[in-house]
Amino acid sequence: MEFRNLGPTGIRVSAVGLGCNNFGRNVDRETARAVIHKALDLGVTFFDTGDVYGRRGGSETILGEVLGARRKDVVIATKFGRPMDAEGTLQGSSRGYIMVAVEASLRRLKTDVIDVYQSHKPDPKTPIEETLRALDDLVRQGKVRAIGSSHMPAGELREALATSRKHGLAAFSCCEDEYSLLFRGIERDLLPAMVENGLSLLPYYPIASGLLTGKYTRGEALPDGSRFKTVTERDYTGHFLTEANWDKIDALTAFGRQRGLTLLEVAMSWIAAKPQVASVIAGATRPEQVEANVRAAQAPLTAADVAELDRMTA
């Protein structure tokens, strides 16, 4: 397993991480245990979760219970900000809420410190300085090692970084955002802002929620148990299963076949080759998926191959 720096923090993370958003939702505790242990066996040390994952708290709880003594061997990233109750009162990025949310996450994760604490989404009701001062206090208290953002537009990210510099506060070291061969929108504005400031990218949906695994075929019925059939809180079908994406998949499949690579290997090795990527967040519902993702990220792609894939999916 290759290890990389997370922004300017000095924290080292495995080039392939484990996305834990399925735990407590469509992955039960014992299956999650098998997935986590397989990841550890393969050298995965970066585990990405969020307080809202697993029907509000389930993912963090499972991760904390399963890791046990192995907690010291891994880097845990979790998030705050999305609604943690039906009424929508437990959410946001205010100082008051952050201080409540972090204690709840620490308890569920059974740990004294969160390695990477991320704002899950911008909070238009709270000034960014208030959020950063709260996070800075958590870093100074030793409850958080590094902070990051998710779903934050480039302009707001630049404002946050400037605020940290102006007041000498802890600054975002990474951004967690959607990025894959099918969704490269962050390259327009967000990625350049990250490069300018030395931030790392933690890409989620690197295989487009499974669409880049090769298990889906245009015009055929969706497999039972797939996210496109089981998830109801988001329109995955409308987001991913477009004609433009199917055309790209056909081209990517042919590209891989010419080089003796599967579609999964093309997708994972391309994103792992991107210099701003610290750890590719790949979710898994079975142990064998973890192994497939780790192996795929190590597939041989030349610089010319990466450039060709960039052109094909621009």
Runs of H (alpha helix) within 8-117: 29-41, 53-67, 95-109
pLDDT digits (tens, 9 = 90+) for 87-126: 989 999 999 999 999 999 999 999 999 999 999 999 999 9
Which two three-digit tokens encode residue 53?
């994952």
Buried b (16+ CB within 10 A) or exposed e, 138-163: bbeeebbbbbbbbbbebebbeebbeb
Is 144 strand, coil or helix?
strand
Q: Tell me if residue 205 is catalytic.
A: no
pLDDT tens readout for residues 276-309:
999 999 999 999 999 999 999 999 999 999 999 9
Domains defined along the chain, listed by start: 3-210+262-301 (3.20.20.100)
pLDDT tens digit sequence for 42-70: 999 999 999 999 999 999 999 999 999 99
Q: Evaluate if residue 234 carries a pLDDT over 90.
A: no
- What SS3 state is found at 51? coil
Q: Is 106 helix (H, G, I), strand (E, B) or coil?
A: helix
Q: In what order do the strands lie in the sheet with 200-204?
A: 200-204, 172-178, 144-150, 114-119, 75-80, 46-48, 16-19, 280-283
How far lies 106's CA from each of 3, 12, 80, 202, in Å?
25, 21, 12, 22
Q: Is the pTM of this model over 0.85?
A: yes
- Please report which confidence band the pLDDT of residue 261 belongs to, taking 50, 70 and 90 as the band edges: very high
Give the pLDDT score at 240.
Answer: 83
Contact present, 20 and 59 (Cβ < 8 Å):
yes
Residue with tokens 């510099």: 165
Query: Distances in Å between the alpha carbon of 302 and those of 16, 174, 253, 263, 273?
Result: 19, 26, 17, 16, 9
Q: How far apart are CA 1 and CA 264, in angstroms?
A: 18
Does 230 have pLDDT greater than 80?
no
Tell me the percentage of the chain whose pLDDT exceeds 70.
96
pLDDT at 104: 98
Cβ neighbours of 89 (radius 10 Å)? 10
Q: To the nearest whole number, what is the mean pLDDT of the chain?
A: 95
pLDDT band at 215 (very low <50, low <70, confident <90, very high): confident
Determine which one of 53, 204, 216, 236 is catalytic: 53
Partner residues linked to 77 by β-bridges: 48, 116
pLDDT at 100: 98
